[in-house]
Structure 1
Amino acid sequence: MEAYIMDWLNAMLRFAHFVTGVAWIGASFYFNWLENNLNRQGQQKEGISGHLWAVHGGGFYYLEKFKSYPNKLPKHLHWFKWEAYFTLITGFALLCVVYYYNANSYLLKSGTDISATTGILLSLAGLVVGWLIYDNVTKSALVKKQAIVALIMLVVVAVSAFFYQQFFAPRAVFIQIGAMIGVIMVFNVFFVIMPSQRELVKACVEKSELGEEIGFRGYIRSRNNNYFTLPVLFIMISNHYPIFYAGENAPIVLIAIFIITVLIRHYFNLEGEGKRGAKTALGAAVVLIAIAFYLLIPSKPKVIEGAKPIAYSQIALIMENRCSTCHSANPSDDQFTVAPSGFMLDTKEQIINAKDIIYTRTIASNSMPFGNKTHMTQEERDVLALWLISLKK
C-alpha cells in the first residue's frame, strides 16, 4: 500500500510540476519576446515607450508598455508570481518524494559512506548556497558585467557537479544541479522581482519618482531567469537518458549542457533584439553539440577471436542476481514492488527480445542496475556484453 501511495504522489506531483512549470516558463518566454518586439519607432503616445499589435485565437490585441507607470493604477492588475511559486513548491515536494524519501536508492551513490540524512542535508545546503552565491554576485558591481556573472555561474555549476558526484547517484547529481538553478530562478521572483514591482505600484499610487535602479534590478533578474530556463529544462529531461548522466564524465556533460543551452537562449535573445552575434552564438552551440555527440558515442567491448562461446546459463545467473530483483513479475527488491516500467527479465525470450535495451543500459552507459544496487561487477558486464554482441551476429 505504501508503494501504491508513493506512486500516486509521484505521478500527481510530477504532473503539477510540469503544468505550473509550463505556465511560468511560457509567460517568461512570452514577455521576453514581447520586450524584444515592441514597436518603439516613430511618435509614441505620451508616457508610452512601445506598442504591439497581435492577432491570436480569432481576435486582435493591442499592447502598450509605459515608460514608468500610468496616471492611475488599474483596478484589476495581474501579477505573474504564482506560476513560479507553485513550480518551486511542486518541484521541492517531488524532490522529497522521489529522492529524499528513498535517499539510499535514488539519492546516494552506491558504496558511499555518508548516511541518507547527511545526503539530504548536503542537497538542501546546495540549494541555499547556490542562491547565496548568485544573489551576492548580482548585488555587486558585477551585475553590469553579465558575461562575468555567467562565467561565475558556470563555475558554480562545475564545482557543484564535481562535488556531488562524490556522494550522489549520477541521475541525482543532474537533478541536484537543476534544482539549484530552479531555486535561484524562483527566489529571483520572490526576493527581487516582486519587491521591485511593488515599489513600481507604490510609485504609481503616490505619484512619486521611480529610480532607474528599481527597474533595472527587476529587469536583470528576469533576464537572468530567461537564460537559466533552457539549462533547467534540458537538465531535468536529460536524467531520463543515461548517455548524458552515466559515467565519470557526467560533470563535464553537465557543464557542456549549461554552456550549449545558454548559447541557444542567447541566440534567440540577440535575434529577437536584432543585434549582431546571433549566428555566432548558434554556430558555437551547434559545434559543441556535434563534439558532445561524438564524444558520447559508447565504445564497444573488444571481442577476442576464438573465445569460448558464453553459455546462456551464465547470463541467466547474472540476470537473476543483478537484474530480476526489480525487473520481474515478482520483484524481491525492497523499493520496487512492481517491475519498473513493466519491464521484466524473467525468461530467456524476454531477455533476448530486450537485448538492445539491456546493452544500452548495462554496457553502453552502466546506468543499470539502478545505482548498481545489486553490485554488478565489471566482469559480469563484460560477459553480458560479449553474449549480447553474439546475438547480433
Structure 2
Amino acid sequence: MVAAMAWDWLSFGLRWLHVITGIAWIGSSFYFIALDLGLRKSPNLPQGVAGEEWQVHGGGFYHIQKYMIAPPHMPEYLIWFKWEAYSTWLSGFALLVVMYYFGAELYMIDPEIADLTPLQASAISVASLALGWLLYDRLCKSPLGADQNRLMLILFGVLAVMSWGYAQVFTGRAALLHLGAFTATIMAANVAHIIIPNQRKVVAALKAGETPAAIYGAQAKQRSLHNNYLTLPVLFLMLSGHYPLAFATEFNWVIAALVFLSGVTIRHFFNTMHAGGGMLWWTWAATAALFLVIVWLSGFRPEPREETAAAAGPLLASAHFEGVRDVVLSRCAMCHAAEPLWDGLAVAPKGVMLETDADILRHAHGVYLQAGVSRAMPPGNVTWLEPQERALIAAWYEEGR
C-alpha cells in the first residue's frame, strides 16, 4: 500500500510542477507575441529599433523598444527566457514516464487496439517524440518552409496523421495525450535548438564587434510564431484525459485534429487584435462551428469488439475476487458502463468501464487507489460504499500484487 500511495503522490507532485512551469512558459510566450505584434513606429526611434511600446502595470509605466537584429552594443544585463520551456518539457516527460511508461498496462495499452508489451509501447512513445521533432525541423529548413501558409498546412497534415497513428496503437486517453506531448516536444525543441542558439549567435557576434546575420532573428521569429499557434491545442490535449467524450469515442483522432484548427482561429483573433488589425469576429464563428462538429463527432461510440479473455493472475485467482466483483458491479458499474444509468452521464467517467471481470482486472490499480485506500470514488459516496467493502478491495489488490 505504501509503495502505491508513494507512486501516486509522485505523479501528483510532477503534475503540479508541470502545471506551474507550463503557466510560466505560456504566460511569457503569450506576452512576447502580444508585445511583438503591438510595437509601434515613431520618427525618433534609435537606429535599428523596429518599434516601441508603452505599457502600464503594477502602478508604473514601462517603455519597451525592440531591435530587429541586435543593439549596437551588448547590454550589461540580459534576461534569457528559456528555463520556462525546458522545465515544462522535462517535468512533462517525467510525468509521462511515471504515469504512462510505468503504468503502461493501465494507461497506454489496450489489447483490443494493439497487443503491445509495456516496453514496446514506451519505445513507440519515445521514438515518435524524437522523430516528430526531426521531421518538423527538416520541413522548416526545407524550401517548403519559405512559404509560411504552405508550411502551416503541411504541419497540420502531419499532426492529423500522427493523431490517427497514435489512435491505432494506444488507448484513447494515451493517444490524445501523446499528440499533445508530440507537439510540446516540437515547441520545447524550437526553444532549445533554434531560438536560444540563434540568440547566442547574435550575442557572440556583438561581442566580436560584428553585425549579426538577420537570418538568425527570422528563424527564431518563425519558430516562436509556431509555438504561439500550437499552445492552445496542447493545453486541450493535456486536459483531454478528464473528458471521455474527447478521447473515448470512435473519432477521437479527428476531434484532436480539429482542435488544432480551433486553436489557430482563436490565436488569429488575438494576434490580429494585438497587431492593430481590428477584431476578426468571424474567427469566433469558425471556432464555434468547429466545436459543434467536435460535439457531433463525440456522439459516435466505438464499435463493439469481441471481449478479450480475462487476464489470468493472482488478482483473478484471489479468494477475494468474487466479493470485489460483487462490490464493483453493485457500487460502481451503474456509472462505469457502456451505457451509464446515472442521470446526466453520457459516457463512463474517464472512459473507465467496470462491467466485466476483464474490465475490473484492467483497472484494478485505479479501483484500489480510488475506492480502496481513498474515498475518491464513488463521488460523495453516493452509492454507499461501506468501509468493509473498501477494506476488501484493498486486501484483494495488496494480496494479488
- Pairwise same-fold verdict (TM > 0.5): yes
Specify which of 246, 249, 257 is matched with residue 247 of structure 1: 249
Task: Give the whole-Å Cα distance in 1 for the aligned partners of 2:27 and 2:355.
Answer: 34
Structure 2 match to 1:107: 108
Q: Secondary structure at the match of 2:175?
A: helix
From the superposition, tell whether residues 51 and 247 of structure 1 become closer, same or farther in structure 2 (CA, over 3 Å): same
**Cα distance between partner residues in 2 of 1:371 and 1:87:** 38
Distance 1:373 1:345, change over 3 A: closer
CA shift, 1:42, in A, is 3.3
1:274-321, Cα deviation, whole Å (9 max, x unpaired): 34793343332222122323443478xxxxxxxxxxxxxxxxxxxxx9
Cα distance, 1:249 vs structure 2 = 0.8
Q: Please name the residue that 1:311 is paired with.
A: none
Partners of 1:88 and 1:182 within 8 A in 2: yes
What's the Cα RMSD here?
3.1
CA distance in 2, matches of 1:148, 1:109: 37
1:282 corresponds to: 284
SS at match of 1:177: helix
Kindly indicate whether residue 351 of structure 2 is the aligned counterpart of residue 367 of structure 1. yes
Give 1:360's aligned amino acid.
A
Which residue does the alignment assign to 2:96?
95
Q: 2:136 aligns with which of 119, 134, 137?
A: 134
Task: Return the letter of the residue paired with 1:95.
Answer: L
Shift of the 77–349 alpha-carbon distance from structure 1 to 2, 3 Å rule, reads closer
Counterparts of 1:125 and 1:184 in 2: how far apart (Å)?
A: 13
Counterpart CA distance in 2 for 1:219 and 1:162 is: 30
Matched to 1:33, the amino acid is A
Give the number of aligned pairs.
337
SS in 2 for 1:109: coil
1:265 deviates by 1.2
Q: TM-score, normalised by structure 1?
A: 0.78
What is the alpha-carbon distance in structure 1 between the residues aligned to residue 115 and residue 37 of structure 2? 51
For 1:21 and 1:76, how far apart are their aligned partners in 2?
A: 26
Query: Residues 155-304 of structure 1: matches in 2 within 5 Å?
Result: 155-275=157-277, 278-297=280-299
Unmatched 5+ stretches in structure 1: 300-320, 338-343, 377-393
The amino acid of 1:245's aligned partner reads F
Gaps of 5+ in 2: 302-309, 361-401
Letter in 2 for 1:68: I
Where does residue 304 of structure 1 map in the other structure? Answer: none
Shift of 1:46: 3.3
Give me the whole-angstrom Cα distance separating, in 2, the residues matched to 1:250 and 1:42.
53
CA distance in 2, matches of 1:369, 1:127: 30
> What SS is found at the alignment partner of 2:27?
helix
CA 1:268–1:358: 2 relative to 1, 3 Å: closer
For 2:341 and 2:286, the matched residues in 1 are separated by 37
> 2: distance between equivalents of 1:41 and 1:236?
42
User: Residue 267 of structure 1: CA displacement?
Assistant: 2.0
Q: Describe the shift of the 1:217–1:347 C-alpha distance in structure 2 as closer, same or farther (beyond 3 A).
A: same
More divergent stretch after superposition (94-103 vs 46-55): 46-55
Pair 39,366 (structure 1): closer, same or farther in 2 beyond 3 Å: closer
Equivalent position of 1:11 in the other structure? 12
Q: Deviations over 1:84-123 (max 9, x none)?
A: 0111110000000000001011111243322111111111
Change in Cα spacing, 1:84 to 1:298, as seen in structure 2 (3 Å) is: same
Q: Does 1:44 align with 2:45?
A: yes
Q: 1:347 deviation in Å? A: 5.6
Specify the code of the residue in structure 2 equivalent to 1:114: L
Q: What CA deviation, in whole Å up to 9, does each residue of 1:235-290 have, x standing for no partner? A: 11122111111122111111111111122112221222234793343332222122
Residues 205-249 of structure 1, C-alpha deviation per residue, up to 9 Å, x if partnerless? 122122221110111011111111111011111221111111221
8 Å Cα contact 1:361-1:368 kept in structure 2: no
1-structure distance, mates of 2:93, 2:286: 34
Could you tell me how far apart the structure 1 residues matched to 2:287 and 2:60 are? 37
For 1:318-333, list aligned pairs within 5 A: none
Deviations 1:54-108 (A, max 9, x none): 1111222111112432233222211001110111110000000000001011111
TM-score, normalising length: structure 2: 0.76
**Cα 1:349–1:217, aligned 2, differ >3 Å: closer, same or farther?**
closer
